[in-house]
Amino acid sequence: MKVLVDTNIWSMALRRKANVNNKDVDKLKALILSNQVAMIGPVRQELLSGIASEEGFYKLNVSLEAYDDFPILKHDYITAARFYNLCRRQGVQGSMTDFLICAVAVNNDMRIYTNDMDFHNFSKHLPIKLLK
C-alpha cells in the first residue's frame, strides 16, 4: 500500500540537520526502501518554499527529483473541497494542502504519514487512514 507523506515528515528528513535517531525519519527511510512512498506536487512546493539560499533550494530539489508526483485529478480537488466544508462545519480548520492530501489518500486507498495533529482532528470526521 502506498503512503502519502506529509510535508512535516519530509522536512524533518530533508531540511533539518539534527535528524539522527529520529523515529519518524527512520520510518520514512523504511517506506522509501520498500517503495511505498507517494509524493504530490503541493507537498513538493511546500518543501521547496522558504529556502533562503539558491544552493539550498537546488540541493533539496535534486533530492526530491527521485520522487514522481502522484497525479491529482479533478475528483481529488472536489473531494478536498467537500472535506474542507465538512470539517469547517464541525469547527475543524486546516490548510488547502492538508485537505488535498486527505482527498488524494482517500480516493486512492493510501495511508497518510504525518505527525501533524491536525490530521488526527480530521480523522474524527473524514475517512482517512493514518500510518501509526
Is the pLDDT at 116 greater than 70? The verdict is yes
pTM of the model: 0.93
The reported pLDDT for the residue numbered 17 is 61
Question: Cell numbers at residue 125, please?
Answer: 470526521
Q: Which three cell numbers stand for residue 113?
A: 504519514
Taking the chain, what is the end-to-end CA distance rounded to the nearest angstrom? 14
- Residues 77/106, Cβ–Cβ less than 8 Å: no
Those residues with Cβ within 8 angstroms of residue 49's Cβ, 6 or more apart along the chain or in another chain: none
pLDDT tens, position by position, 17-58: 655 568 999 999 999 999 999 999 999 999 999 899 999 999
Cα 81–Cα 71–Cα 85 angle in degrees, nearest 5: 5
- List, in order of start, the domains of the chain with CATH numbers: 1-132 (3.40.50.1010)
Is 89 strand, coil or helix?
helix
pLDDT for the residue numbered 104? 98
What's the confidence (pLDDT) of residue 14? Answer: 83
